[in-house]
Structure 1
Amino acid sequence: MNGTITPNSLHFERHHSGIPNIDPAQHHLTIFGMVERPLTFDYNDLLRYPMQSRVLFLECSGNSYQNTAPQAADMTCGELNGLVSSAEWTGVPLHYLLDEAGVKPSASWVIAEGADASGNNRSVPLSLALQDTMIALYQNGEPLRPAHGYPIRLLVPGCEGNLSIKWLRSLKLLDQAAHTREETSKYSDLMRDGVAGQFSLKMEVKSLITSPSGKMKLPEQGIYEISGLAWSGMGAIRGVEVSADSGATWSEAELQSEAGIYRAVRFRIPWRWTGQPAVLQSRALDSNGNLQPTRSDALRGHAPGLVYHYNGIQSWLVNEQGQVRNHYA
């Protein structure tokens, strides 16, 4: 693949209790709790509201967790880092529905719940819900597929994927977080001092080289294009640097696609391989000055076994035979 848009059939999937078989004619979205007017919408109701389309990345908070293990796993780029995708999402800005319901001044959280077997739910800060969050109905121009939340899903740009509840059936306004199973036993950040942090929702600046990458082989010496992807939930990508000497020196890569808030971009740079071992790395910088950290910096302070929000620099070792494998620099 090239570019930045992921075809729907290849978009990563993560399910907590399988994929429900939902009849859109029987499915409803209810907004209740700390609102002036509890509301219920069916699928056709939502189709009548003004919609917007945005190209956005979506990343599982557990993406790249294999790179937190003590030994570097000999895996492909997709196997290590494949729980991120980009699509054009179309739907109704959530603030339209919340404005209509009349959110009470004391409300500060929205508890979103899905219609899967687990009733998967998450607490979303009201400030996020009123900004860029949408009720997504379409993905890359077609109605959502069942695996991606048909008929409707929440989409919270820039945040960990589990916050974007699929098969959305209710939004409850509260004055506090619900501390559900999915934000206590899971999706929390255990630190070395034994304290677990919660609601680290934004995905931090990140990049990775997709070619050359794990388990590929360079057939001969010569000029190759180093290409990859960069994204950030903290801003727009401002630049990407690439190193072929394990971070000793860096060169600015060209951004092949348009940068924007919560948009993944593809970068590229030519590189001459002379047959000597090389360690390829990329690091991204976003519009708020966040620089992608080294692996050691990304792991600092976290308890062993960190599995969420890892965004350390990905390193690929090219050996003298041109074989590429995952590497800890």
Structure 2
Amino acid sequence: MNPPALDHEAANHEAAQREPRVVGTGRATAALTGVLSAAVALGVGELAAGVVGSSSSPVVAVSDAAVRATPEGLKEFAIATFGAADKAVLVGGVLVVVLLWAVGTGLAARRRPAAGVVAVGLFGLLGAVAAVTGPTGSPLDAVPSVLAGIAGVGVLLALLPRLQALAAGPDPGRRGVLLAGGAALGAAVVAGGGGLVLQRRFAVADAREDLVLPDPTDPAPALPDGADLAGAVDGLTPLLTSADDFYRVDTAISVPQLDPSTWALSVTGMVDRPGSITLAQLFARPDVVERDITLTCVSNEVGGTLAGSARWLGVPLGPLLREFGVQSGADQLLCRSSDGMTIGTPTRAALEVPDAMLAFGMNGAPLPVEHGFPVRMVVPGLYGYVSACKWLTGIEATTFDAQDAYWVQRGWAAEGPIRIASRIDTPVSDAAAGTVVVAGVAWAQGTGIDLVEVRVDDGEWRRAELAPEATVDLWRQWYLPVQLRSGEHQVSVRATDADGRRQPEEQAPPFPSGATGWHTITVDVA
């Protein structure tokens, strides 16, 4: 007869042989339970945001908070690496974090259901705090995240018993999990899709299409013959940039949607006659102007593409501000965007630069929504972070001592004049031996470009041919045919403005007041 202990072990072994092993399946199903709970939570959050407002979406709110918390160096890296796709990358990163959080939640709930409930609740709380503490946040903005958290907890608690049933017996348990999981997934898709449909009601694309711009009383001068050589020189940047190709750098995860019929610009602060003006009133002014102007982002690296030129339509900023009586002590215009962004513009530039304007048209059409519709500021000679406020809703006359704008709070220079710049557009990296046309653009707003020089390797600087100048505020094209033998060559460019100031050779990064240095490329000649 076996000893009692051995009989007990044998019985356990026999029972184990009869019961299927479901440990691996249990962990995978637990992780899937967390993911489904998060999916429903996100779907409900989007649905609620479709009622409250798209910017209150948990993903958008958390992404906006991530932008605000990101160190400047990392922001610069993201802009330089991803360009206009930086926001999509950020949102994708947030969703990856949510996915990992959801997997961890499901695994934690497998052992301790309360831990999973707490994890889902924290997800909703984080979204609510991010929404409420945003620049334009309100208590109502917390609703989508709160509802998302409640829905996520509900789905998690509903799926956990199925998970336990699966551990007890795989066949009926698996069917229960599949049915419950399919229902949860369907609910997530329906809620999320419904939310996206509802959010379309906030879109202003149709209102933009229906908008009829006024004719300029002072149209842009005709471009001189030969001012745009893009068609004659392959790879050369066009003189005017299409709206689709125009760079975009801002912090708006969800592009503001402003109804042009209700839009108004308030002018407050150190003014004699505070008030507001509507879009219809801007359109009706007798001083609607059209100008060709290059905009540049301060984040633009030497040779970078964060610059673009367009034909802008709007009203002169100086005369408009004088009508409100901007006081002499106000040296800063704190411009406010509908998404809470603040841009600090030197008052002197706004009043004295002739072509500074409130722009509502771009290249013959209303401003694109992503470029500031219905009204943005454009001030030639200043980087965009101190001059080109998009989705403009307010101008407060104040002082630099009294208030710091968004980017100045983060260490960027307060006034931001654009530095002389030149760029090689072509060739890009390789060329055939023989005559190679080196070409690009150069700009020095307010004075214009007088000279562009090109150097190959350590040779002499040679004067490039300049296209006729259209206006001092628009970049100028240049080109130079050079003879290149087989091998690797360094090609550099530098520019000099009409006042004789040469583009500095010293290399400096964009932070805190704009990049400097001569653009140099390596060309592999075969």
What TM-score do the two structures reach when normalised by structure 2?
0.52
Corresponding position: 1:167 with 2:386: no
Q: Name the SS of the counterpart of 1:130 in structure 2.
A: helix
Displacement of 1:288 after TM fit?
2.2
Partners in 2 of 1:258 and 1:234 — Cα distance? 13
Corresponding position: 1:10 with 2:245: yes
Corresponding position: 1:139 with 2:344: no
Return 96-105 or 38-47, whichever deviates more.
96-105
1:41-80 pair list within 5 angstroms: 41-49=277-285, 50-64=287-301
Contact 2:490 2:520 in 1 (8 A): yes
Q: Name the SS of the counterpart of 2:507 in structure 1.
A: helix
Partners in 1 of 2:283 and 2:464 — Cα distance? 42
Contact 2:451 2:496 in 1 (8 A): yes
1:243-322 pair list within 5 angstroms: 243-246=455-458, 248-294=459-505, 297-299=506-508, 306=511, 308-321=513-526
Return 54-63 or 259-268, whichever deviates more.
259-268
CA gap 1:180/1:125 in 2 versus in 1, 3 angstroms: same
1:42-191 pair list within 5 angstroms: 42-49=278-285, 50-64=287-301, 81-116=304-339, 119-132=340-353, 133-163=356-386, 164-177=388-401, 178-186=403-411, 188=412
Letter in 2 for 1:89: W
Partners in 2 of 1:311 and 1:14 — Cα distance? 20
CA gap 1:89/1:120 in 2 versus in 1, 3 angstroms: same
Contact 1:143 1:151 in 2 (8 A): yes
In the alignment of these two chains, the number of paired residues is: 285
Displacement of 1:307 after TM fit?
6.5
Contact 1:63 1:308 in 2 (8 A): no
CA gap 1:306/1:47 in 2 versus in 1, 3 angstroms: closer
Q: Name the SS of the counterpart of 1:235 in structure 2.
A: coil
Contact 1:57 1:262 in 2 (8 A): yes
Q: Name the SS of the counterpart of 2:404 in structure 1.
A: coil
Return 1-10 or 162-171, whichever deviates more.
1-10
Between the aligned residues of both structures, percent identity stands at 27
Partners in 1 of 2:515 and 2:399 — Cα distance? 30
Partners in 1 of 2:446 and 2:502 — Cα distance? 11
Runs of 4+, deviation exceeding 6 Å: none
Return 133-142 or 1-10, whichever deviates more.
1-10
Letter in 1 for 2:523: V
Displacement of 1:266 after TM fit?
0.5
Displacement of 1:39 after TM fit?
1.9
Letter in 2 for 1:217: D
- Give the helix-richer structure, 1 or 2: 2
CA gap 1:111/1:306 in 2 versus in 1, 3 angstroms: closer
- Give the strand-richer structure, 1 or 2: 1
Determine which structure has more spread, i.e. the larger CA radius of gyration: 2
What TM-score do the two structures reach when normalised by structure 1?
0.81
Q: Which gives a bigger RCO, structure 1 or 2 (Cα 8 Å, sep 6+)?
A: 1
Partners in 2 of 1:307 and 1:81 — Cα distance? 16
Q: Name the SS of the counterpart of 1:281 in structure 2.
A: strand
Q: Name the SS of the counterpart of 1:16 in structure 2.
A: coil
Partners in 2 of 1:25 and 1:14 — Cα distance? 26
Partners in 2 of 1:175 and 1:185 — Cα distance? 18
**Deviation per CA, 1:111-166, whole angstroms, max 9, x where unpaired?**
111112xx111221211110232100111111100111000001111211122100
Corresponding position: 1:206 with 2:421: yes
Contact 1:234 1:286 in 2 (8 A): no
RMSD: 1.9
